[in-house]
Amino acid sequence: MRRLTILPMLAATLLLAACSGSATSAPAASSGGGAASAPAASAGGDTGAACAAAPAGATAAATVTIKDFKFSPEPVQAKVGDVIAWTNSDSAPHSATLDNGACDTKPIDVGATAMLVFTAPGTYTYHCSVHPTQMKGYTIQVQ
């Protein structure tokens, strides 16, 4: 039982430490269901690197537009600690979900924005979990 109490506290501490870098960002999500989610521990792409929801008040260093069932730009270029924002300018909800499932924005409503921060270098592949057969094979390159 005690182990079950300690693990969530340890995971929260590690997540806060990963988010306490010098990156600045905008709110984790704007109106309506587009909140970003953060796993307790996450691995990304081919490198096992970390990803989490951007802290409240964060400013995006890179912006991805979702329109016509596509993410743009492709690939997304970022540096470790950068916040990446996905803005849904499409006609349906979408998400930005790492292919390995370690991190995602959850569905982003039309007109809303969700943000993630990457805390380790690597190449991350992602897709839309709402439209996984239509919107797949996208890349985030973090240096």
DSSP string computed for 12-78: HHHHHHHH-SS-----SB-TTT---B--SS--BTTTTB-EEEPPTT---SEEEEEETTEEESSSEEE
How far apart CA 123 and CA 107 sit, in angstroms, is: 22
Give the number of domains in the chain. Answer: 1
Q: What is the CATH number of the domain that holds 19?
A: 2.60.40.420
Give me the percent of the chain exceeding a pLDDT of 90: 63
Is 0.85 surpassed by the pTM of this model?
no
Dihedral class, residue 39 (left if φ above 0, else alpha if ψ from -120 to 50, else beta)? beta
Q: Which is more confident, 33 or 106? A: 106
Domain hosting residue 10, numbered range: 2-142
How far apart CA 116 and CA 3 sit, in angstroms, is: 29
Would you state the pLDDT for residue 4? 44
Identify the sign of the CA torsion 129, 130, 136, 142. negative
Average pLDDT, the chain: 76
Phi, psi dihedral angles at 85 (to 5 degrees):
-110, 135
Judged by average pLDDT, the poorest of 49-63, 69-83, 125-139 is: 49-63
How far apart CA 130 and CA 107 sit, in angstroms, is: 7
Write the pLDDT tens digit of every residue in 84-113.
999 999 999 999 999 998 899 999 999 999
Q: 50 falls in which pLDDT band (50, 70, 90)?
A: confident
Write the pLDDT tens digit of every residue in 122-141.
999 999 999 999 999 999 99
Instruction: Work out the average pLDDT over 32-46.
Output: 36
